[in-house]
Chain A
Amino acid sequence: MYVYDDFDRTLVDERVNEFRDQVARRLSGELTEDEFKPLRLMNGVYLQLHAYMLRVAIPYGTLSSEQLRTLAHIARRYDRDYGHFTTRQNLQFNWIKLSDLPDVMADLAKAGLHGMQTSGNCVRNVTTDQWGGVAPDEIEDPRIWAEILRQHSTMHPEFTYLPRKFKIAITAAAHDRAAVRVHDIGLRLHKNGAGESGFEVVVGGGLGRTPFVGKTIKPFLPKRDLLSYVEAILRVYNQYGRRDNIYKARIKILVHEMGAEKFGAEVDAEWQNIKDGALAIDLAFIADIASRFRYPKYENLANEPPALTQVRSRNSRFDTWFRNSVTPHKQRGYAIVTLSLKPEGAPPGDATSEQMDAIASLADRYSFSEIRVAHEQNLVLPHVAQRDLPVLWEQLEKIGVATPNVGLVSDIIACPGLDYCSLANTRSIPVAQELTRRFKNLGTQRELGRLHINISGCINACGHHHVGHIGILGVEKNGQEFFQITLGGRADEKAELGCLLGPAVPYAEVADVIEDVVAAYVELRDQPNELFVDTVKRIGVEPFKERVYAAR
């Protein structure tokens, strides 16, 4: 966990007082809606179909048990007893009253939480690998760099009114779990030939109505230059990014139209002016930030203790969950545990306040009081002793978060869709719910292997449909809900955008079509362990199209 200092606490407390005053002036009529809207958006407050929605920032997806309890408290006291974890590692409350919001923010602030920069045309919550600091394949903890960027970008006066919102993601592992290539800036921490660590800088990735996989403009950036280089990128974007057309305002459009090479040259020119100035990072600063991350005092434990192996051998249900939801940890004798928020028939990513409280208590007992939020809308207990896994599993089962479907076909990413969102064209959650029912057989899911379905209820792509192995996009046709289906997308280090399967299908047929796509995959894969996305890569979408549409 990162430990906030007095500066952070003062900043958050002052923002609460400021917002309380703004809300009071709005409710009294002193501020008009046009005056108030940008102020509420700066605090993560949207107006959705049924109510105000509050988006709470969870920097790099790391939560303490105290913070999770606070979120449960907010859900229970001010909302409808649940919260929704998002693809940006944040949490949204869907039923908040404006008149309650100052008190909500005051309660959040007591736990070091807030909604700043979760909306608006600024640098948003910096996201990273949900296994940061514990993944065996990382070269170092990427959250330290996410924190450095968070501090640099929070209320940065030059970047508070960018042409459009700006999202940064960081990975430090060989396998990209943070989807860095589809962010405005993606940072991949890696080692060069000399064994030094630095960043590959990718810009101009993004989804939405004009999706792009980002382009690498700097294969290796020394760590000391991270802030100055990111600042140079933001300056070039701030100067040249379009402000006349909201649909062409993201940096991806600028990079595409300017060309990555020219864009990179502009950034380099800007960077030369500032790289050796105040933003150059020295080792002492990095050490200071790193020192504020409190790492657990792990016990000296052996891998695969008898307490674990014996239960695995005699309890097949536990063993199934272990093989699906438990991942090796960089510390011997420990494990990373993913909690599925995707039980059959439930809205993806939602957790009740009772579940959040229970998970906080389990984190206290088994995970050094720490929880992570994954961009796939699941939660993670990052530091579990392997000997504790059987008893932890029993507790997780009781609260409904031990469905062994992580990374499988029913582990669906879905945006809130038309059931909540004022921008959506179609529903997405009910589509996800129906698909989890169609694929409820866990044996079948395991036989299918890793298969990501991502659903968005509109072209804004909050459900990341472009990079789903199977992507589902809701579109409106003559007042009816239709869905376009794409195949072959992926968000990892081999990021690709999916290819359109064929004509959009009506709401009532979506689940049937997806079942047919999956059946076609089983027929077309060249061996049982060829993943869906690899089959699509090998043969393209045409063989799927022939099979799926032939019957229609």
Chain B
Amino acid sequence: MTAPSQQKLKVHGPVVVTGNRLSDGAVVYRGAIGWTARLSEASVVSNAQAAKDLLVLASKDDAAVGAYVAPVEINNGQIEPGNLRERIRLAGPTFDLPASFGI
């Protein structure tokens, strides 16, 4: 599959810019004052030009890498991931990690 960062930018609803923190790879989102680990603090835009502008700005900030535009949903004022991939990035794998299967 083509990674989101390599796909043509299409915006059909609210989106955020996301990436991975340089030092540890943790999922981060582009907020008003820089990268944040909280989706609730992400800047949400709804058209391609605004998304592109946000992405360009984010890509200049080297604290995170692999920046791309990701869909979100706004439910009761809360920002939530817009697809399964983004839900997994935010919440982690959809199963218990192996340590819980251990001895």
Q: Does B66 make an interface contact (CB < 8 A)?
A: yes
The complex places the Cα of A94 from the Cα of B23 at a distance, in Å, of: 15
B93's contact among A26, A32, A400, A420, by CB below 8 Å, is which?
A420
Cβ–Cβ < 8 Å partners of B85 in chain A: 49, 418
**Using a Cβ–Cβ cut-off of 8 Å, how many residues does chain A contribute to the interface with B?**
47
Cβ–Cβ < 8 Å partners of B101 in chain A: 343, 345-347, 350, 352, 400
Given A81-B99, A343-B101, A52–B94 Cβ distance below 8 Å?
Answer: no
What is the chain B residue whose CB lies nearest that of A34?
B65
Assess whether B92 is in contact with A50, with CB atoms less than 8 Å apart.
yes
A82's contact among B26, B27, B94, B97, by CB below 8 Å, is which?
B97
The complex places the Cα of A93 from the Cα of B62 at a distance, in Å, of: 24
Q: Say how far B45's CB is from chain A's closest CB, in angstroms.
A: 20
Q: Tell which of A271-279, A360-368, A423-431 binds the partner.
A: A423-431
Assess whether B24 is in contact with A52, with CB atoms less than 8 Å apart.
yes
Assess whether A29 is in contact with B62, with CB atoms less than 8 Å apart.
yes
Given A354-B103, A424-B1, A481-B84, A99–B98 Cβ distance below 8 Å?
Answer: no
Q: Does B10 make an interface contact (CB < 8 A)?
A: no
Assess whether A419 is in contact with B66, with CB atoms less than 8 Å apart.
no
Q: Does B50 make an interface contact (CB < 8 A)?
A: no
Assess whether B1 is in contact with A425, with CB atoms less than 8 Å apart.
yes
* Contact residues of B between 41 and 99, Cβ < 8 Å to A: 62, 65-66, 83-85, 88-89, 92-95, 97-99
Q: Does B32 make an interface contact (CB < 8 A)?
A: no
Q: Say how far B49's CB is from chain A's closest CB, in angstroms.
A: 24
What is the chain B residue whose CB lies nearest that of A416?
B93
Q: Does A453 make an interface contact (CB < 8 A)?
A: no
Cβ–Cβ < 8 Å partners of B98 in chain A: 81-82, 346-347, 350-352
Given A355-B102, A422-B3, A50–B25 Cβ distance below 8 Å?
Answer: yes
Binary CB contact string for chain B from 3 to 38 against chain A (1 if under 8 A, 0 otherwise): 100000000000000001011111100000000000
Cβ–Cβ < 8 Å partners of A302 in chain B: none
Q: Say how far B72's CB is from chain A's closest CB, in angstroms.
A: 14
Cβ–Cβ < 8 Å partners of B88 in chain A: 49, 418-419
What is the chain A residue whose CB lies nearest that of B63?
A29
Cβ–Cβ < 8 Å partners of A33 in chain B: 22, 62, 65-66
Q: Does A459 make an interface contact (CB < 8 A)?
A: yes
Cβ–Cβ < 8 Å partners of B25 in chain A: 47-48, 50-52, 96-98
Assess whether B24 is in contact with A97, with CB atoms less than 8 Å apart.
yes
B65's contact among A47, A96, A398, A427, by CB below 8 Å, is which?
A47
B102's contact among A51, A354, A427, A429, by CB below 8 Å, is which?
A354
Cβ–Cβ < 8 Å partners of B23 in chain A: 27, 97-99
What is the chain A residue whose CB lies nearest that of B2?
A423
**Using a Cβ–Cβ cut-off of 8 Å, how many residues does chain B contribute to the interface with A?**
27
Cβ–Cβ < 8 Å partners of A430 in chain B: 94-95
Number of A-B residue pairs having CB atoms within 8 Å of each other in the complex: 100
The complex places the Cα of A33 from the Cα of B66 at a distance, in Å, of: 9
Assess whether A479 is in contact with B3, with CB atoms less than 8 Å apart.
no
Q: Does A256 make an interface contact (CB < 8 A)?
A: no
B26's contact among A50, A343, A345, A433, by CB below 8 Å, is which?
A50
Cβ–Cβ < 8 Å partners of B24 in chain A: 51-52, 97-99
Q: Say how far B18's CB is from chain A's closest CB, in angstroms.
A: 11
The complex places the Cα of A50 from the Cα of B86 at a distance, in Å, of: 10
Cβ–Cβ < 8 Å partners of A541 in chain B: none
The complex places the Cα of A98 from the Cα of B94 at a distance, in Å, of: 24
Cβ–Cβ < 8 Å partners of A476 in chain B: 1
Q: Say how far A455's CB is from chain B's closest CB, in angstroms.
A: 14
Cβ–Cβ < 8 Å partners of B65 in chain A: 33, 47
Q: Does A458 make an interface contact (CB < 8 A)?
A: yes
What is the chain B residue whose CB lies nearest that of A423?
B1
Q: Does A77 make an interface contact (CB < 8 A)?
A: no
Cβ–Cβ < 8 Å partners of A243 in chain B: none
Cβ–Cβ < 8 Å partners of B94 in chain A: 419, 427, 430
What is the chain A residue whose CB lies nearest that of B59?
A33
Cβ–Cβ < 8 Å partners of A48 in chain B: 25
The complex places the Cα of A481 from the Cα of B85 at a distance, in Å, of: 11
Q: Does A399 make an interface contact (CB < 8 A)?
A: yes
Cβ–Cβ < 8 Å partners of A81 in chain B: 97-99, 102
What is the chain B residue whose CB lies nearest that of A350?
B98
The complex places the Cα of A422 from the Cα of B18 at a distance, in Å, of: 13
Cβ–Cβ < 8 Å partners of A424 in chain B: 1
The complex places the Cα of A458 from the Cα of B2 at a distance, in Å, of: 10
B103's contact among A49, A52, A398, A423, by CB below 8 Å, is which?
A398
What is the chain B residue whose CB lies nearest that of A344?
B101
B97's contact among A80, A343, A351, A400, by CB below 8 Å, is which?
A80
Cβ–Cβ < 8 Å partners of A418 in chain B: 84-85, 88
Cβ–Cβ < 8 Å partners of B62 in chain A: 29, 32-33
Q: Say how far A82's CB is from chain B's closest CB, in angstroms.
A: 4
The complex places the Cα of A423 from the Cα of B20 at a distance, in Å, of: 15
In this complex, the member of B23, B66, B92, B98 whose beta carbon has the largest number of chain A beta carbons within 10 angstroms is B98
Cβ–Cβ < 8 Å partners of B93 in chain A: 419-420, 429
Q: Say how far A147's CB is from chain B's closest CB, in angstroms.
A: 31
What is the chain B residue whose CB lies nearest that of A52?
B25
The complex places the Cα of A420 from the Cα of B89 at a distance, in Å, of: 8
The complex places the Cα of A343 from the Cα of B103 at a distance, in Å, of: 12
The complex places the Cα of A425 from the Cα of B65 at a distance, in Å, of: 21
Q: Does A358 make an interface contact (CB < 8 A)?
A: yes
22 sample A-B contacts, Cβ–Cβ < 8 Å, listed by A number: A27-B23, A33-B65, A49-B27, A49-B85, A51-B25, A51-B26, A81-B97, A82-B98, A97-B23, A98-B22, A345-B101, A347-B98, A351-B98, A352-B101, A352-B102, A399-B103, A419-B88, A423-B1, A425-B1, A429-B93, A433-B95, A459-B1
**Pairs of residues from A and B, 10 with the lowest C-beta to C-beta distance, nearest first:** A51-B25, A419-B93, A97-B24, A350-B98, A82-B98, A352-B102, A52-B25, A346-B101, A81-B99, A33-B65
